[in-house]
Amino acid sequence: MAWFPAPDRLDPRVAECLHFERDWLSGDWTGRKVLVTGLVPLSLTAYCLAFWRRSPGWGLVLLNAMAVGKVLWGVVPGRGTGRAMLAPAGAGLLVGDVVLLVVVRSRRRRPATGSAVASAAERAGQQGSRAPWPGAGCSVQPRREGQSHDEPLG
């Protein structure tokens, strides 16, 4: 989100939308309002979880759903005041979608590097089907039969 200086002239539709939001937030808090407001942290948590699980497709779906939900919230309960947000919200959503898609595509083209498992797998591929040493790429190596726990692995 970006903050810009206040405009010299405020669009009446934007002023009406902001007035609706201020009234909604400062009005009586019913159970329904608490549930609707609870969707905000829930959706942000789901959005973060999508990327934590490396699922940019779900991240894109959630980004679009959150943006559409915000605009619909301003249009339906706001008696149409949210229409003033359509152009900026649509432009912001388009930028967000494009950035997300560009990042995902650029990460898919780049080969994985720096990983011990990937390095061991590459070396194993260069030497044939066998790994360069027993347990290559594993963080835990098996103990030989009869080897005590005091003896170093190797």
**Mean local confidence (pLDDT), 6-22:** 83
Domain assignment present for residue 69? The answer is yes
Distance CA 146, CA 143 (A): 8
Domain assignment present for residue 121? The answer is no
Contact 66, 59 (CB under 8 A): no
pLDDT at 100 over 70: yes
- Give the total number of structural domains in the chain: 1
Domain assignment present for residue 5? The answer is no
Of the listed ranges 31-35, 76-80, 110-114, 145-149, the least confidently predicted one is 110-114
Backbone dihedral region for residue 39 (phi beyond 0: left; psi -120 to 50: alpha; all else: beta): alpha
pLDDT at 56 over 80: yes
pTM of the model: 0.58
Domain assignment present for residue 142? The answer is no
pLDDT at 149: 65
Burial class (CB in 10 A: 0-12, 13-18, 19+), 8: exposed
**In terms of residue numbers, what domain contains 76?**
12-109
Domain assignment present for residue 126? The answer is no
Domain assignment present for residue 28? The answer is yes
**Mean local confidence (pLDDT), 81-102:** 85
pLDDT in tens, 109-145: 776 555 555 555 555 555 554 555 555 555 556 666 7
Domain assignment present for residue 1? The answer is no
pLDDT in tens, 32-54: 889 988 999 999 999 999 989 98
pLDDT at 115: 54
- DSSP classification of residue 139: S
Contact 97, 119 (CB under 8 A): no
Domain assignment present for residue 150? The answer is no
pLDDT at 151: 65
